[in-house]
Amino acid sequence: MENQSASPAPDAGWRHSRLARSLPEAHGTVSVPAGAGFWRKLLAFSGPGYLVAVGYMDPGNWATDLAGGSRFGYTLLSVILLSNLMAILLQSLCAKLGIATGRDLAQACRDHYPRPVSNALWFLCEIAICACDLAEVIGTAIALNLLFHIPLFWGVILTALDVMLVLFLAHRGFRYLEAVVVSLVTLIGVCFGLEILFSRPDVKEVLGGFLPTAQIITNPEMLYIAIGILGATVMPHNLYLHSSIVQTRKYEPTPAGKREAVKFATIDSTLALMFALFINASILIVSAATFHKAGNHDVAEIQDAYQLLSPMLGVGAASTIFAVALLASGQNSTLTGTLAGQIVMEGFLNLRLRPWLRRLITRAIAIVPAAIVAGLYGESGTAKLLVFSQVVLSLQLPFAVIPLVQFTSDRTKMGEFANPAWVKAAAWLVSAIIVALNAKLLYDFATSP
């Protein structure tokens, strides 16, 4: 019992010497073979990165990537690449924070900031999780509608039942949860590998799209979608999630053991996020090669993409494969969203609710606006709500990124694991880019007629 209730004494930079374990029911439950070779240890540490990568390919990404590809061709591939590189850096800092200090990001914020600041950060994070959950609800409902012709309104209501799936997997063990997530991620990858083959994009144009242009900043419409892509790619709640679930591994609590754990956790998340880059880029590439090339520049809705893919590509299965991948994406995001909500509430408030109750609360908050919009405005309204939810995520992102960079750059808190000068510079540059993009978006909103 003692092993689950308290963590080892932290470095002197923290206010409290003992904190409750992050995600206590899974903490240290995955063994790491002592004396094993590189590949066996990598396999033991592999898993958390894919749970994090799920958030980088959730239904919110689909809406922004489809809109970006159909309207602007391959131009916004550079934003997807930049966002992914930012994500790799930030997630590596999350892994290091969790392993080196025994704290997740939410616990670190509660330990460091005054109570009013900590509560404000918690409130903003809950808004981000609700926005993310909203995207999952809408994406899953759309997939159910496309595959089984279930009305959007009832599809939204049915998404509340995924609580049972989460509870079942949680009781089976953390490795079972990881296995299901990796399987669904693989399914999504196979689906979009096929879609790429069907759409036959121009390789030269695709490669050119990964080079950034000034037009992304100067064109307000392009900037809006670019920030939506940023918000859909670098997920605020993923920073909290990753800093916790890396602690599910039973590594040696010595400096050498922690260094090894940080190394393998970083490899795990980097490989997983490169796979997420493939998925996100594939969605935009398929949209650009299929819709933009044919002059259909207004395909921003998932339903429209589904209806048009098969006839435009001349492949009968193209639309069904697209919808299957969407359903897998929505379900995967549900699993990780559950964990993120639990970690944030427990970390910031030191308040533990039963997982099913926590999930029902967040699901209800997401289902109510989604059900209202689906009932009143139908497909068009849900598509706009999906893109808007990703912009909300992006606006919340600085409030998670800045504390993360601050903590991991502080030698009194991190000791020998503190960021070296070049990592610190890169991390603060990423933070500055995120803040600047959001400021530009707010300015455009305020000055638009």
| Alpha helices (runs of H) in 302-354, residue ranges in sequence order | 302-313, 318-349
Closest CA to 201 of 272, 113, 294, 121: 294
Is 93 strand, coil or helix?
Answer: helix
What is residue 303's three-state secondary structure?
Answer: helix
Q: Is the dihedral of CA 377, 380, 382, 386 positive or negative?
A: negative
Give pTM, 2 decimals.
0.87
Per-residue pLDDT of the chain (449 residues; tens, 9 = 90+): 334 444 344 456 888 766 788 888 888 999 998 888 899 999 999 999 999 998 888 776 777 788 889 999 999 999 999 989 999 999 999 999 999 999 999 999 999 999 999 999 998 888 887 777 777 777 888 888 889 988 888 888 887 776 666 667 667 788 888 998 899 999 999 999 999 999 999 999 999 999 988 888 888 888 888 887 776 667 788 899 999 999 999 999 899 999 999 999 999 999 999 999 999 899 999 999 998 888 887 776 778 888 888 898 888 889 999 899 988 888 888 778 777 888 888 899 887 777 667 667 766 776 777 677 767 766 666 666 766 776 777 778 889 999 999 999 999 999 999 999 999 999 999 988 888 877 776 676 667 66
Q: How far is CA 223 from CA 68, 216, 266, 300, 419, in A?
A: 10, 5, 31, 15, 31
Domain boundaries, the chain: 42-447
- Its CATH class, for the domain covering 42-447, is mainly alpha
User: How many CB atoms lie under 10 A from the CB of residue 67?
Assistant: 27
Q: Copy the structure tokens of residue 381.
A: 């309204």
Q: Report how far residue 138's alpha carbon sits from residue 33's, in angstroms, rounded to the nearest whole number.
A: 42
Long-range contacts from 156-162, C-beta under 8 angstroms, 24+ separation: 156/367, 156/370, 156/371, 156/374, 157/367, 157/371, 159/330, 159/334, 159/363, 159/367, 160/360, 160/363, 160/364, 160/367, 162/331, 162/334
Residue that has been written with the tokens 């068009």 in this structure: 380
Maximal C-alpha separation, the chain: 65
